[in-house]
Structure formats: C-alpha cells, structure tokens
Chain A
Amino acid sequence: AQSVTQLDSQVPVFEEAPVELRCNYSSSVSVYLFWYVQYPNQGLQLLLKYLSGSTLVKGINGFEAEFNKSQTSFHLRKPSVHISDTAEYFCAVSDVGSNYKLTFGKGTLLTVNP
C-alpha cells in the first residue's frame, strides 16, 4: 500500500517570496503523483500531476513540481507567491492500475502574508 508524507503542516511566507512544499511517498510499484489545492470552504482542485516522462511538471498558477524517484519525493515550488495562493495543498499518490484510488497526505497550509 502506498503512503504520503507532507513534511510541513504549515508554511508561512511573505508575498513575492519563493516557496517549497515538501512531499515524500512510499510505494512498491509505479505511481502517479498529484498536487491538489483547496481554497477556504471549497473542494479540491488539481494543481498539477506527474504521470510519466519529464520529471519537472508545470501546473496552474505558476506552480511546478519535480519528481525524484531515487528520493521518492514530489516537492511543489513557486518562485514568487501571491496573497491569493493562501490555501491548503495536498500531495496525493496513486498506484498505476489501482483503479485510480488516491492516497492523500495530511496537507500543508500555505499562508501568504503581505
């Protein structure tokens, strides 16, 4: 069974600063990896995904993530954050062929301060 560890439960940053949200996973088989974002009082929406190919993937709103198979990591980065990026971010993993059941991390609350 797969598992996901998000290493920081809260990350406060100032506007226009860079940010990295860390995610490590464990699985015995090939995986798909995802980052979802949840704005206050809303459902989750897909930010970006890694399925195969290039290990650097770009998503919406200027976010990107890098898949590192040897370190089993999928860290999310943005070079310059905005107030509107304040949200909770979830890393998720799915074993290839698992009927697309996602296992989510516990989330990282990103707070962008002026």
Chain B
Amino acid sequence: NAGVTQTPKFRVLKTGQSMTLLCAQDMNHEYMYWYRQDPGMGLRLIHYSVGEGTTAKGEVPDGYNVSRLKKQNFLLGLESAAPSQTSVYFCASSPGLAGGPVPGELFFGEGSRLTVL
C-alpha cells in the first residue's frame, strides 16, 4: 500500500551542489506535482505534470527542473542549490481529468527535508 513515495527523506547539501529528489506513485495517476512547504508560507507549487512526458511551471519554479519520463515517476532537480531552497518538499499525485473518487484530490508523499548550507 505504498501510494506516493519520496526519496530521500532527508538531505544536507552545500551551496552550489546539485541533487535530485525522486517521487514514485503506484496508483496509475496522470497528474503529479512538486510543492515546497516553508514556515508561515503554506504549500507553494513548484512544477507539475499532467501526463508522461509533460511538465509545466507552477508558482515558484526558479532554480528547479523536473522530468516525467515514466508515468509513475516525477523527478525534481536542483542544479545549483542555494540556502533559499532549504525547505520541505512534497510530491503529490492525482487521477486528473480521468476522475477518481474526488476530482482534484491530491495524494501526498511524506515529504523530503532538504537543508542547504
């Protein structure tokens, strides 16, 4: 009963280093999202995908890149990490226009805590 799985769960980087966060979902969902959560800011959408091979920018895309080469995976990359990217990152998925029990219901992973020194 995995749902949405994020790896790694914790990571510490130095400024300028690069890394990739992996999100995997086993619900055959069409849509996938990356959010960041910062204290007092709620969740802000970084990038999203409405299907395999597609990506789109969200509210705060600068400094991040994404890829959706397989339907079940959505990767978030940081090419040159900055302290401002210290955050908790959440991946989510949803059935999308295919419906599902609740249109627009997102299923979240448990988060990845990233610290950039």
Contacts and interface: CB of A to CB of B under 8 A. Distances in A.
Interface in A78-104: 90, 94, 99-104
A114 interface: no
Given A43-B90, A106-B41, A106-B42, A34 B110 contact: no
Given A32-B103, A99-B31, A9 B109 contact: no
A93 to B, nearest CB: 10
Contacts of B41: 106
A90 B4 CA distance: 20
Interface stretch (A12-20, A44-52, A68-76): A44-52
Nearest to B56: A99
A94 B104 contact: yes
Contacts of A46: 102, 105-106
Interface residues of A, number: 23
B27 to A, nearest CB: 14
B42 A105 contact: yes
Contacts of A51: 102-104
A34 B109 CA distance: 18
B110 A99 contact: no
A6 B42 CA distance: 10
Interface of A: 6, 9, 32, 34, 41-46, 49, 51, 90, 94, 99-107
Interface of B: 4, 31, 33, 35, 40-45, 48, 50, 58, 90, 92, 94, 96-97, 102-106, 108-111
Q: List the 8 closest pairs (A to B, CB-CB), nearest first.
A: A43-B108, A106-B42, A100-B104, A104-B43, A104-B42, A44-B108, A94-B104, A43-B110
Given A43-B92, A90-B42, A100-B103, 10 more contacts: A34-B104, A41-B111, A43-B110, A51-B103, A90-B43, A99-B48, A100-B104, A101-B33, A102-B45, A106-B42
